[in-house]
Chain A
Amino acid sequence: MYTTNASRGLPRHRSRHLTERYTRWTLRCVIATLVIALLWLVVAFHLNGQWMFALLFLVLGASLGVVFTKRTLMSHRYIFPAVAGLGVFVIFPLLYTIGISFSNYSSSNLLSEERVRGQLMSQTYQQEGNAFELTLYQAGELVRLYLENSEADTPQRFVSSPLNLANQETRQIGIQAVDASPAQEPLEMRAIIQARDSLQGLRLLTPDGAELRMAGLRQFAPMVDRYEAREDGSLYDRRDDRVLTPDPASGFFVADNGERITPGWPVNVGFTNYTKIFTDPDIRGPFMQIFVWTFVFAALTVVFTLAVGFVLASLLQWDQLKGKAVYRTLLILPYAVPAFISILIFKGMFNQHFGEVNMILDTLFGVRPEWFTDPWLARSMLLIVNTWLGYPYMLLLCMGLIQAIPQDLYEASAVDGGGPITNLFKITLPLIIKPLTPLLIAAFAFNFNNFVLIALLTGGNPDILGASTPAGTTDLLVSYTYRIAFQDAGQNFGLAAAIATLIFLLVAGMSLLNLRLSKVKV
């Protein structure tokens, strides 16, 4: 253990070697470039109005600059990259998730207010009763558009100059009024269908200044901007003749009758997401059910894997047994095969129709259980698979701990006439359970959040009936939040973040308990 010269304030070691000095200067240049790049990101994010991200990179850039220029922080240079990685990719997302949980960020409230405004302002609608029938006429290599509104009171007819319809760009074309259609055979409907993409890009300007756009397969119609921005920030809806005012509480433009115009923008909604979890019956019901199942799943997994692992470990420690190395290698195979492959193997094996498990059960007992559609069978399947996946870990832990038990104890027990069962429960188990506890808590926490197993095996199915969010009977809390956030059309990030925050609290509790029990020495 020593303190660096620099952090004691002693003079810097100055290398006589030129290459060494060059390295030092290269390092400085790299740091300077990094700081500049980060500051550029800060400005970019700030201009985009994303102050959270701007702040993140400002803190990152500033601390990088400070740590690598202040000589008293010499030791911190060594830990800076790792701490920065932890900060940006673990702690920041954690805080950001907590932040999102107080907003209504979702697929309907995704963009910023300016972007929503821009999107609404670009909306157009077709003026009624003014549609023009479209026909195409060949003009050499090119094609002429002919438009006619024969049903109107004052029929109008227009024709365009010859156009190249291979060009799909959006462009404005002037059209002239004519008295009659061109005196030739029109092109067939097929030609219009083929040229549909380029026709959609055409903006036809009539001599009196109206703009026509494609409104149906054979129709062009005058399109007008639907909304008009007012000075007080509200929008005037030309089509429905009403005023929309931005509502900062809900993040939507709202009409007088209370109707909300999508899309909206994310706003702070306080504890709404949390109160929803505990009061809205369509969310509370599934949430509580999933919550209980998550605990049961994690606890049963730990119990089962520990039971199997402990018994096997005791067997393998028996010095009368030959071929221990072979058994050991075969027994930890489930640990060595990548989990995402073995889980998928089980998914195929438990398949209702052609899975091997049902084939064997069918020949032996004549039953074909529906592993994926019956909630209880699906849950038992998850436990079976997870025990298969998890017992080698317990086996290895127990083997390590059993080795540390002095052999005299078993000698004494044998002298007193104790059998193997007595040894197991009176000597081995009591002696290893104490050092094992923190590891069991870690295993519990891991399985509490065992997302991969659920996602790959059942995907949370079968579904809970009557839930307003995607929720399944085999979902754990993590897979539940994942589905709320990333599955289906809802994408309710705010609600998902609120549930994630609750899990954060649980995990934090578990890890503190773990730290207390294992008495980590730093």
Chain B
Amino acid sequence: MAMVQPRSVGARRLGAHLALICFVSLIVFPLLLVISISFREGNFASGSLIPNNFSLEHWSLALGIPWERPDGSIVQPPFPVLLWLWNSIKVAVVSSVLILMLATTSAYAFARMRFKGKEPLLKGMLIFQMFPAVLSLVALYALFDRLGQFVGWLGINTHGALIVASLGAVALHIWTIKGYFESIDGSLEEAAMVDGASTWQAFRYILLPLSIPILMVVFILAFVISIMEYPMASVLLVDEHKLTLAVGAQQYLADHNQRWGNFAAAAVLSGLPITVAFLVCQRWIIGGLTAGGVKG
């Protein structure tokens, strides 16, 4: 608490609150609008933020249930949103688990062992992490196209390719986990090794149980990044039933046929769980993200 206070502190406090409230409402407006639109009737309806003609049509379609209009016509769901969400989650879970395994083992070596080429490897990883995958899409496409001729589940239009391609982005996570490992005292593991544990056992039974929190954080971080991945998925996936949400969602707002209402429901349905998960874990995620400068 500051000791010296200006006289007009009350007025300033009021002003700050007002400014913040104005700004917050400006920021939150689009999000509230989408929730409101998802409950409006029709695809082009305008109106107040609280919908006057309330309808569950868009929600029903987003959940994949055909909707019967009052005039008797039946509307079929335009896109398989739930399937896209499931694809996204499937890809994200598998790739996050794999990334976690790769990142943890190498972070252990980087934090605890001395070996040749450690420093250049770490620095190199940091540099290569800044090259966006969009730029080498042609090469990645060629790679998976050729691989697909010999290994079916790694070809174009497979989730396998998308999962495997995400394994290149481990550098950020290695740095995060390495930092955590270094904050844990190594004497516990040394004691275990004096008692006859192998290096692997010291890692597996001593260090890993101590680092569950950071592993959770890295898992969530990798999961969020994978869910939001767009460029690679847009090139590697072709069929409608294979798309992930990030690629599929844009079809609602195609240039000639904009389904604004249907999109709103699908967006809320799929965006809400991710948003809530993010807010719940924000403390840890933000620590990880701001360290690397991934989003922004």
Contact = CB atoms under 8 A, between A and B. Distances in A.
Given A443-B293, A485-B138, A340 B2 contact: no
B228 interface: yes
B52 interface: no
A445 B151 CA distance: 36
B209 interface: no
A93 B139 contact: yes
A344 B125 CA distance: 33
Contacts of A348: 253, 258, 260, 263-264
Given A45-B146, A91-B128, A340 B295 contact: no
A478 B23 CA distance: 32
B78 interface: no
Contacts of B164: 89
Interface string B254-286: 000010100110010011001100110010001
A183 B284 CA distance: 87
B109 A347 contact: no
Interface in B67-115: 101-103, 105-106, 108-110, 112-115
Nearest to B44: A354
B167 interface: yes
B123 A2 contact: no
A426 B250 CA distance: 46
Given A94-B139, A486-B235, A414 B6 contact: yes
A373 B34 CA distance: 24
Interface in B228-270: 228, 230-231, 234-235, 245-246, 249-250, 252-253, 258, 260, 263-264, 267, 270
B168 interface: yes
Nearest to B110: A79
Interface string A318-332: 111100000101111
B212 to A, nearest CB: 19
A393 B198 CA distance: 43
A22 B123 CA distance: 37
Contacts of B31: 333, 337, 342, 345
B121 A79 contact: yes
Given A331-B27, A333-B28, A508-B127, A485 B137 contact: yes
Contacts of A359: 46
Contact of B140 (A83, A89, A388, A507): A89
B211 interface: no
A75 B115 contact: yes
Contacts of B113: 1-4, 75, 78
Nearest to A15: B198
B27 A334 contact: yes
Contacts of B294: 446
Nearest to B279: A336
B19 A315 contact: yes
Interface stretch (A223-231, A273-281, A495-503): A495-503
B108 A78 contact: yes
Interface string B165-182: 111111100100000000
Nearest to A400: B290
Interface string A429-459: 0000000000100110111010110011000
B16 A97 contact: no
B142 A96 contact: yes
Given A359-B46, A485-B138, A85 B170 contact: yes
A420 B199 contact: no
Contacts of B292: 442
A315 B15 CA distance: 11
B234 A520 contact: no
Interface stretch (A123-131, A138-146, A200-208, A509-517): A509-517
A326 to B, nearest CB: 9
Nearest to B150: A44
A330 B31 CA distance: 11
Contacts of A93: 133, 136, 139-140, 143
A78 B139 contact: no
B296 A96 contact: no
A397 interface: yes
A339 interface: yes
A97 B136 contact: yes
A217 interface: no
B20 interface: yes
B227 interface: yes
A137 B120 CA distance: 79
A11 interface: no
Given A410-B2, A507-B131, A82 B230 contact: no
Given A86-B125, A329-B279, A356-B46, A97 B139 contact: yes
A249 interface: no
Contact of A79 (B24, B105, B147, B264): B105
Contacts of B286: 332, 396
A3 B114 CA distance: 6
Contacts of B151: 41
B134 interface: yes
A390 interface: yes
B109 A75 contact: yes
A266 B221 CA distance: 41
A351 interface: yes
B115 A7 contact: yes
Interface in A376-429: 388-390, 393-394, 396-397, 400, 407, 410-411, 414-415, 419-420
A7 B113 CA distance: 10
Contact of A81 (B102, B110, B122, B196): B102
A76 B106 CA distance: 8
Contact of A411 (B2, B140, B296): B2
B34 A89 contact: no
Nearest to A520: B126
Contact of B121 (A41, A83, A351): A83
Contact of A338 (B5, B112, B186, B227): B227
Contact of B106 (A78, A96, A332, A522): A78
Contacts of A89: 140, 164-168
Interface of B: 1-6, 9, 12-13, 16-17, 19-20, 23-24, 27-28, 30-31, 33-34, 44, 46, 101-103, 105-106, 108-110, 112-115, 118-119, 121-123, 125-128, 130-140, 142-143, 146-147, 149-151, 164-171, 174, 186, 190, 193, 196, 198-199, 227-228, 230-231, 234-235, 245-246, 249-250, 252-253, 258, 260, 263-264, 267, 270-271, 274-275, 278-279, 282, 286, 289-290, 292-296
12 contacts: A3-B114, A41-B150, A86-B125, A97-B139, A318-B16, A320-B9, A341-B270, A342-B271, A347-B253, A351-B258, A451-B134, A452-B231
Given A333-B31, A336-B275, A439-B293, 13 more contacts: A2-B113, A41-B151, A44-B150, A48-B146, A78-B109, A82-B106, A331-B23, A341-B249, A354-B44, A442-B130, A478-B134, A482-B137, A504-B131
Interface of A: 1-7, 13, 15, 41, 44-45, 48, 50, 53, 74-76, 78-79, 81-83, 85-86, 88-94, 96-97, 100, 305, 312, 315, 318-321, 327, 329-342, 344-349, 351, 354, 356, 359, 388-390, 393-394, 396-397, 400, 407, 410-411, 414-415, 419-420, 439, 442-443, 445-447, 449, 451-452, 455-456, 478, 481-482, 485-486, 493, 496-497, 500, 503-504, 507-508, 510-512, 514-515, 520, 522
